[in-house]
A and B are shown apart, each in its own frame.
Chain A
């Protein structure tokens, strides 16, 4: 939302990366700018406008165009739809998945919204307190979560197609990372914590091929 420079034209901001990396002048880069804007669904006639003349969804599209300017192989999308309305959110996600397929991109999608991840990602890593709590194929993680934190997180999501109740939530606050808790970082809020969780940090156990969970409950029984 606020990542664009308010005093520079949109075309300049997209061209900047191209000019710097591809050894082109700003004027030469304009052709590529038009191409990129078409790619993300903005009328290229508007390329010389300022960011404030664009709506939130369009600004996000411009950001995507900037990210794609130098034909990257990997794109990190940091909460790309968090500040957007549901409809615009759906538009942007559709665009991202489309681009990812067309341009054969790899994408790291960072989000706190599990439903966004469920609808777009192939693989997921759930993080808690600066560590990876669970890691695996999206479908498996969402349908059969192995870590109590993932389980709690998934349960706390209201599902419009589910029952009409307030979902349960995870009590407590995230840990202070200046003094992270001993043992498992989640034990203070974990409903299933037992003695070992307080003293020893669990490694990532492989519960199924490619599906890892950092929880003592998932330790392979000897």
Chain B
């Protein structure tokens, strides 16, 4: 890369195409990510299941509700503490840390007093012993009833031999039986090949000859099959006796071992109980009192340390993305972490799957449907034998409506229609029995009539298999039907998120409003007013300051983050239009930029120009929001200095109980005034 970049005289630039995106998806929910192409929907979806490496941030998976709520509460608490903590000087910070360490030490002491000698370890051991005993008891019962699975496994060979004998007769040894089965399989495959070659009109004769040969061999083998023979009966009887004896012998052996183990574990458990005794209430009480003492003196610094420690502890338990301190270290850059992450991900791959957008490109044309769908099974070591894999694949195919599965299993992708291909894509995701599915525009490449069918299938599978979807789409019509909750993204940021139907019925962010207004309706008599955004989305390499939507926003105002260049262009246009009304003495001869937030107007009479400007700006403020960015004017000899509002990115703010919006227009006035320095 470096070499090529050197040749071309270019530098590599890392683009944060998606930044600061945060949302939670609840179990059994459909969460829609909506936005134009290039807004980072797919990148987000893939990063979640770690098909893309995120450069920072946290991904939590499978967090129990109470832990999640606790995390939220702790984070909210930390946020309220933050102003106090940031006001602490270095000495107070050191003190707070020392206090925190003392509380930690005391808490450890309480723990070890409560469980003397080995503390928590003893509790765990006790639990383990109790579980072991319960398991051994169960096993004993199973052995006595003759239903123990381990014994059954040890006698599989004998069982199989009896079965073979009973179905195929004396002549057949297991090896021959296998051969027979193989021939039968070959025959079936040959017949399939024949029907194929007949439809293609090639090599029919060859296939027919092959089938005849196989049939002859099979017939010859079957001649020897006879189960009615008295020899067979007596032989089977003998085998059965052998089996019963072996089972009896093994059971007795196993029972002896189980009983011995029970005795051993019981002994261990008794020992554990007889050692040591819990600490007295007094000891605990005094320790707890000293903890409370340190806490009461500690103040917000200590509180913040404790809260952060608790947050870190929860995060450490569920986070899939980074163990880097405060997001500073990149994901998995340290070799040990990377390995640990990969191990962890392997287990999770089963539980998180993706359905791709384009069924014409996401299926390997060289593999049969069976190969495609069984690949995840093999990769995740879910099935070990071909027969098992076949059964699982067949079930997955029937689940997605490709019935009968045998009809489709050995076809190739090009032999299927678009809808059927997408069903194969869905089957591939479902075959490992996941909990969470990222559906990346699963129906955007399909025809209208097939689309609803696939959606119905996805919803049916959701209820039947208790799935959770992250549904990525640019079609708000789909989001309307499917989404429990929605996040609308623009240029790598969430601009509006919350309850799906509410957002679509009552959008608050100008971008969402525009997106909803352009969804075409199949009713020609309804002509709604469309808000068509002009221009293209900006390049993520060069994201506009302030609100990143402001250059295209139809409702933008002065504080949305206009820079000097944008204001200068608008101002020049205005001055040009008003040229006639200016007296010769006060003509503006030049508009120059003075840094990103300043403009310099060269004129002979700055006072008059200032007066004119303020009057004029009020009149045109609505149509030309960029001019609203002018905050202050300083009159100087020969020129007029204009100062613009500081660009402030609107944060995602909760507006109602279940909707959050990132737009200056929904912010309380005081916040805006503070942020952009109005009246300062």
Contact = CB atoms under 8 A, between A and B. Distances in A.
Interface of A: 55-58, 85-91, 94, 112-116, 118-119, 138-139, 142-143, 152-154, 156-161, 164-171, 173
B480 A158 contact: yes
Interface in B476-491: 476-478, 480-481
Given A57-B536, A85-B474, 10 more contacts: A85-B37, A86-B474, A89-B518, A113-B448, A113-B520, A119-B520, A119-B527, A166-B459, A169-B453, A171-B453
A142 B504 CA distance: 24
Given A87-B518, A159-B523, A160-B521, A173 B37 contact: no
B133 interface: no
B452 A119 contact: no
Nearest to B447: A112
Contacts of A152: 449
A118 B514 contact: no
27 contacts: A55-B536, A57-B536, A58-B536, A85-B36, A86-B36, A86-B519, A87-B532, A88-B36, A89-B518, A91-B534, A114-B448, A115-B521, A115-B522, A118-B523, A119-B524, A139-B525, A142-B524, A143-B525, A152-B449, A158-B480, A159-B477, A160-B480, A160-B504, A160-B521, A165-B481, A166-B455, A169-B453
A168 B452 contact: yes
B456 interface: yes
Nearest to A81: B520
Question: Chain A CB within 10 Å — which of B419, B455, B536 has the most?
Answer: B536
A28 B280 CA distance: 102
Contacts of A138: 524
Contacts of A119: 520-521, 524, 527
A118 B522 contact: yes
Contacts of A115: 519-522
Interface residues of B, number: 41
A89 B514 CA distance: 13
A58 B535 CA distance: 10
B396 interface: no
B636 interface: no
B515 interface: yes
Q: A-B pairs with the 7 shortest C-beta distances? A: A115-B520, A90-B518, A169-B452, A118-B524, A158-B477, A157-B522, A115-B522
B103 to A, nearest CB: 52
A164 B481 contact: yes
B475 A86 contact: yes
B477 A160 contact: yes
Nearest to A118: B524
Contact of A156 (B37, B452, B475, B501): B452
Contacts of A85: 36-37, 474
A142 B523 contact: yes
Contacts, number: 113
A156 B449 CA distance: 6
A9 B534 CA distance: 25
A146 to B, nearest CB: 16
A90 B448 contact: no
Contacts of A166: 452, 455-456, 459, 481
Given A94-B532, A169-B456, A170-B449, A159 B522 contact: yes
Question: Chain A CB within 10 Å — which of B37, B514, B518 has the most?
Answer: B518
Contacts of B475: 86
Nearest to B528: A161
B506 interface: no
A142 B521 CA distance: 11
B173 interface: no
A154 B449 CA distance: 9
A126 to B, nearest CB: 12
Contacts of A55: 536
A51 to B, nearest CB: 15
Given A91-B534, A164-B501, A166-B455, A158 B520 contact: no
Contacts of B452: 156, 158, 166-169
A56 B453 CA distance: 29
Question: Chain B CB within 10 Å — which of A138, A157, A171 has the most?
Answer: A157
B526 interface: yes
A195 B23 CA distance: 56
Given A94-B532, A153-B449, A168-B452, A158 B524 contact: no
A169 B481 CA distance: 14
A4 B233 CA distance: 79
A38 to B, nearest CB: 15
Contacts of A142: 522-525
A103 to B, nearest CB: 20
A160 B519 contact: yes
A147 to B, nearest CB: 14
B449 A161 contact: no
B43 to A, nearest CB: 16
B417 interface: yes
B518 A86 contact: yes
Contacts of B328: none
Given A85-B36, A85-B37, A115-B521, A169 B474 contact: no
B448 A112 contact: yes
A154 B522 contact: yes
B15 interface: no
B452 to A, nearest CB: 4
Interface string B613-635: 00000000000000000000000
Contacts of A168: 452
Contact of A161 (B453, B515, B521, B530): B521
Question: Chain A CB within 10 Å — which of B516, B523, B525 has the most?
Answer: B523
Given A153-B448, A158-B478, A90 B530 contact: yes
A118 B448 CA distance: 14
Contacts of B478: 158
Contacts of B523: 118, 142-143, 159
B533 interface: yes
Contacts of B533: 87, 91
B255 to A, nearest CB: 58
Contacts of B455: 166
B146 to A, nearest CB: 52
A160 B524 contact: no
A55 B316 CA distance: 42
Contacts of B417: 173
B521 A158 contact: no
Question: Chain A CB within 10 Å — which of B448, B518, B525 has the most?
Answer: B448
Contacts of B451: 156, 169
A161 B518 CA distance: 12
Contact of B476 (A56, A57, A90, A160): A160
Nearest to A171: B453
Question: Chain A CB within 10 Å — which of B449, B453, B456, B522 has the most?
Answer: B522
A14 to B, nearest CB: 20
B86 to A, nearest CB: 41
Interface in B452-466: 452-453, 455-456, 459
Interface string B522-558: 1111110010111010000000000000000000000
Contacts of B525: 139, 142-143
B518 to A, nearest CB: 4
A152 B450 CA distance: 12
B79 to A, nearest CB: 35
Contacts of B527: 119
B351 to A, nearest CB: 26
A118 B519 CA distance: 12
A91 B532 contact: yes
Nearest to B452: A169
A82 B562 CA distance: 34
Nearest to B36: A85
Given A158-B478, A159-B477, A170-B449, A118 B521 contact: yes
Interface string B24-37: 00000000000011
B100 to A, nearest CB: 51
Contacts of A160: 476-477, 480, 504, 516, 519, 521
A26 to B, nearest CB: 28
